[in-house]
Amino acid sequence: MEVELAKTTGELELLQDGLKKMPSAITAGQLLELRRLVMVAQHFGGENHGGHHGKREGHDEHEDEHVKGGEEEESPTPVFPDGMTQLNTLWMKRCELKEIHTSVGLLRGLKDLDLSENQIADLHPHVVRHLKKLEVVSEAELH
């Protein structure tokens, strides 16, 4: 039901605690037209729960090397599918993130990115270099 509503409204809010991986509707590309995605108080930063840091089509191999030394490992961080060009708001506040996957760089329509209250050391240029429309970055607690 949430998937159908999200397709209609272009918005998806996942505010319940305990989500440990991206919803399959997003990773399967069923919600490519989302304009707003809010994930607050999730637990992506704990154990490995899916996702992939390996080489992705259309990515420079050096971008992936930055993430995990070029090794193909499971990632606890959310991985976004190619084609989410409509997404302009992404909030991942209090998600226990330690890093951001390079796939965030594919979200070229992104204007508002909230990564506050996570454990992210920095935003590597390879992650955000294609985000030309980015206006707001909330990263109050980057270490």
User: In the prediction, which pLDDT does 96 show?
Assistant: 85
In the predicted structure, residue 54 carries a pLDDT above the cut 50:
no
Q: Distance between CA 59 and CA 32 in Å, rounded?
A: 19
DSSP 28-72: TTTTTT-SEEEE-S--TTSS--S---S--TT--HHHHHHHHTT--
- Domain map (residue ranges) of the chain: 1-143
Of the candidates 93, 92, 104, the residue with the CA atom closest to the CA atom of residue 67? 104
What pLDDT, in 10s, does the model give residues 3-47?
A: 888 888 999 988 876 677 788 888 888 899 999 999 888 777 554
User: In the prediction, which pLDDT does 140 show?
Assistant: 55
State pTM to two decimals.
0.74
Given pLDDT bands bounded at 50, 70 and 90, which one contains residue 76?
Answer: low
In the predicted structure, residue 115 carries a pLDDT above the cut 50:
yes
CATH entry, 1-143, from 3.80.10.10, 3.40.50.10680, 1.10.3720.10, 3.40.50.720: 3.80.10.10
User: In the prediction, which pLDDT does 133 show?
Assistant: 92
Question: Please, which residues have CB within 8 angstroms of residue 98's CB and are 6 or more apart in sequence?
Answer: 45, 76, 77, 118, 119, 120, 121
In the predicted structure, residue 49 carries a pLDDT above the cut 70:
no
Taking the mean position of all CA atoms in its chain, how far away is CA 133? Answer: 16
Is-contact 101 53, C-beta < 8 A?
yes
